[in-house]
Structure 1
Amino acid sequence: MPGAQSALRRVAVDTRPLRTPAYRRLLVGQGVSFIGFQLTSVAVSAQVYEITKSSLWVGLLGPANLIPLVVFGLWGGAVADAVDRRRLLITGSLVAWAATLALLVHAWTGMNNVLFIIMVIAVQSTGFAVTSPVRGAIIPRLVPPERVAAANTLNFLVSSAGSVAGPLLAGVVLAKSGYSTAYLIDALLFGAGLYAAVRLPRLPPIGDVIRPGLRSVVNGLRYIGGHPVVLMSFVVDIIAMAFALPRALFPELAAERFGGSAVAFGWLSASIAIGAVAAGLLSGWVGRVRRQGLALTWVIALWGLTVTAAAFTDHLWLVVVLLAVGGALDLVSAVWRQTILQTYAPDDMRGRMQGVFMVVVAGGPRLGDLRAGATASAFGLVPAWAGGGLVCAVLVVVVGLAVPAFRRYDASERLGRRLDDAAQ
């Protein structure tokens, strides 16, 4: 039926960026390697909990990730504005791969040393801190401006698919084979991402080049501080992740309510990403939303409320469904936040913006892990889980509506100005 087909095209994911071969390879390579990354993330959390029987120790993986993310994320973004982005992507990827190999050797030898795991995770986070802003800065160089939102949606879709496949695979692998097999699979899947990076064209810097260092980082932070729309895109995400993300509590929930089942832990770890995949497949409307600042505020508030509701059920399927709804909301907000940065900032500032974006996107959950683990140890599982979601919902509405420039931001007007500048 023509009417039904037209409606489906309006809501289905926009695949036009896939017509660009370099972007297509980058997307596929990222998707495959991210499955292994998520597999390792779940395995590390489970291994630390098995060794210590403490959610606080699991939560301490957060700062182990966060410190390198802040330092090397900001630095990596500055470097991405000053060097060939292809070469930097390859270098950072090799650092992350070396960390995975170290986890593999650790598991094979049966060391069971939590401090060693934490140090290796810090190294892995360093590699991730370099590669993530580079990928974000590369996308606007590969696809036209009007397809940046669609390309971001595809990126988040394949990442979310990896966040489903990786934890579910982890549940099976950990139940049948153990940690060393999980890390071995990650090391093998890494090859797809490295191949995509090697096949990229040269991507030298455009515009004014400032030597990477403290000055260029400060200039990037000054740019954020002087543009409320950009600043608030970071603030609302920090609120969402630091207060509402319950990820560090998944091992304890699986142990207390579901008999310590590795399969249940895998489903819990995949639940948010399941919703993100579903939202990505029906994301054709996302790029047409104009008032992205206002929409972000309400979407993140709903995320906090769904997380809160998930704390009060003993049924695994219902926890998964509620967190999946939250994951769908999170994907939509991530696309809008990334698109704001990539269409608002000039190319010679995009690496630094993506560096800060990566610090917030990856660092916020680590703060959330620490917050969740610490409050669960102090007050219990349900208060830590539900209380964080409620604080998120209230705080994001108060902060989001308080900044007029963010509340009134119109994406179509900004994109029109960028297209006019490009034509000139």
Structure 2
Amino acid sequence: MSLSRSLIDVRPLRTSPVFRRLLVGRTVSLLGGYMTLVTVMYQVWDMTRSTAWTGAVGLAQALPLVVFGLFAGARVDRADRRRIFLTATVGQAACSLLLAVQGFAGHVPVVTVLALVAVQSCFGALGAPAAGVFVPRLLPKDQVPAGLALNQITGQAMFLLGPALAGVLLGWLGIGVCYLLDALSFGLAFYGAFGLPALQPEGEPSRAGMRGVLDGLRFLAGHRVVRGALITDLAATVLSFPVSVFPLVNAERFGNSPRTLGLLLSALAVGGLAATALSGSLTRLGRPGAVMLCASATWGAALVAFGLSTDPWIGLALLAVAGAADATAVVSRSTIVQTRTPDALLGRVTAAEAIVGQAGPSLGNVRGGLVAGWSSGATALVTGGVMCVLAVTAVAATTPELRDRATGLPDAP
């Protein structure tokens, strides 16, 4: 196999100027978003010196997505997705601007900061399912996996760069400037989507309110391939997500060095970035279900091996493997969702996928923390990884459609 076919497939950048603009806008906006995530955590900790309040930041970000996500998806499936995305982007930018104002002013209650974060997350819950229809509507079907891989690699890169940049700017320019830069970053996201044509749902629009939500849930319950993809993701995250265990494992095995802890956290992202950069052969393969199952099982197995390892360098290598497997599984899962879901339902199914992606790691961190508290960090990692592999095997055995080539895409040139 040639090296060029192993490298990430960049055909969408060559063939679709609209996708190119969207990707640039999304990338800059993600950079601002990760900067704001660090800035909010820093500000809330500085104001309260309480881990309970810093934990509430995650709650303020996650609850709107979980509570309103499916209703937002139903709304997206009834209207012009472009207009909804632009409205949500303006709303998010306004919240960042208000965060900047309070950052410059100072002396505001911590609940004000959390309220602004929650409102911004509400707009995000509306914009995410709208953006979820862009790639399959703008690219040929055989280029959809490549488009999703490009989204993934830029997201991984911003996840590495954003927090580091925020750390530098916080010490140099202060919290207000970081929030202001995030507000400005939404301008590029708005520009990227402004040139899109109207994107009305293809097919019968969603019914209003709860009836539309229930229609989406019925589709998920009845479509074995899409349902299997989301269950596989839940199995990998709820049963084995490891991040909450890292501080304890670092103390148990690696001398409790802050530097080692930072490397543990970075290794997952580095592995994901490398895997996505070399994803060309997998996205061209046309078998996203099989790739997702193999990658999810590899994630679990790598975490088992990490739990058993005592050498920090071997541990970092195993986490990089886990991160690579996770990134591959995410691209494959999104490919299944966006190519197997009818356009008229795509907003609701994308919203469900976002909820799974948000809730799964959060629940997995709770599970890992509880098991580690009762036993040890290594036990939490090994038991979680084993359960993940068993669960993925069960999904593969009971959902043969995920393994079949018929569920994939045509071969790409």
TM range (shorter): 0.7 to 0.9
Change (3 A) 1:53 1:275: farther
323, 327, 345: which is aligned to 1:327? 323
Mean Cα displacement is larger for which, 340-349 or 391-400? 391-400
Partner of 2:391: 399
Selected match of 1:409 from 394, 397, 402:
402
**Gap change, CA 1:266 and 1:195, over 3 Å in 2:** farther
Amino acid at match of 2:340: Y
Percent same amino acid at aligned positions? 37
1:210 aligns with 206
2:280 equivalent in structure 1:
284
Q: Distance in 2 between matches of 1:253 and 1:121?
A: 31
Structure 1 residues 266 and 390: CA distance shift in structure 2, 3 A: closer
Cα 1:370–1:402, aligned 2, differ >3 Å: closer, same or farther? closer
Aligned-residue offset at 1:397: 2.3
* AA in 2 matched with 1:136: G
Shift of 1:123: 1.5
Instruction: Give the C-alpha shift of residue 267 in structure 1.
Output: 6.2
Farther off after superposition, 309-318 or 400-409 = 309-318
Letter aligned with residue 273 of structure 1: A
Cross-structure match for 1:25 = 21
Which amino acid is the alignment partner of residue 106 of structure 1? Q
Work out which of the residue numbers 11, 27, 31 in structure 2 matches 1:16: 11
* 2: CA distance, partners of 1:275 / 1:319: 13
Q: Against the structure 1 CA distance between its residues 199 and 101, is the aligned structure 2 distance closer, same or farther, given a 3 Å change threshold? A: same
1:302 counterpart = 2:295? no
Partners of 1:343 and 1:102 lie apart in 2 by 38
Name whichever of 135-144 and 117-126 sits farther off.
117-126
Cα distance, 1:135–1:83 mapped onto 2, change above 3 Å: same
Distance change in 2, residues 1:121/1:332 (3 Å): same
Shift of 1:14: 0.6
Aligned to 1:232: 228
* C-alpha distance in structure 2 between counterparts of 1:311 and 1:46, whole Å: 31
Provide the alpha-carbon RMSD of the alignment: 3.3
Between the aligned partners of 2:128 and 2:249, the Cα distance in structure 1 is 31
In structure 2, runs of 5+ residues without a counterpart are none
Segments of structure 1 that go 5 or more residues without pairing to the other structure are: 1-5, 418-424
Question: TM (normalized to structure 2)?
Answer: 0.85
Match of 2:125 in 1: 129
Q: Higher mean Cα deviation, 192-201 or 264-273?
A: 264-273
Distance between the aligned counterparts of 1:50 and 1:316, measured in 2?
32
Shift of 1:83: 0.7
TM-score (structure 1 length as normaliser): 0.83
Could you list the per-position Cα deviations for residues 44-83 of structure 1 after superposition, in whole angstroms to 9, with x for gaps in the alignment? 2344444555555444333322221023221222122211
Match of 1:165 among 155, 161, 167: 161
CA distance in 1, matches of 2:57, 2:298: 27
* Contact map agreement 2:287 2:407 (CA 8 A) in 1: no
- Structure 1 contact 68–126 (Cα < 8 Å) conserved: yes
Match status 1:63 vs 2:81: no
Structure 1 position 366, deviation (Å): 3.7
Q: Contact between 2:304 and 2:386, CA under 8 Å: does it hold in 1?
A: no
Structure 2 vs 1, CA of residues 321 and 41 (structure 1 numbering), >3 Å: closer, same or farther? farther
Q: Which moved more, 1:304-313 or 1:286-295?
A: 304-313
**Shift, 1:219, TM fit:** 0.7
Report the secondary structure of 1:60's partner residue: helix
Q: Distance in 2 between matches of 1:176 and 1:268?
A: 27
What is the aligned residue count?
A: 405
Return the alpha-carbon distance in structure 2 between the equivalents of residues 251 and 98 of structure 1.
36
- Structure 1 position 379 matched with structure 2 position 373: yes
Q: Which moved more, 1:385-394 or 1:232-241?
A: 385-394
Q: CA deviation at 1:226?
A: 1.1
Letter paired with 1:409 = L
Change (3 A) 1:225 1:128: same
* Deviation digits for residues 329-364 of structure 1 (CA, Å, limit 9, x no counterpart): 211000110111112111111111111111111333
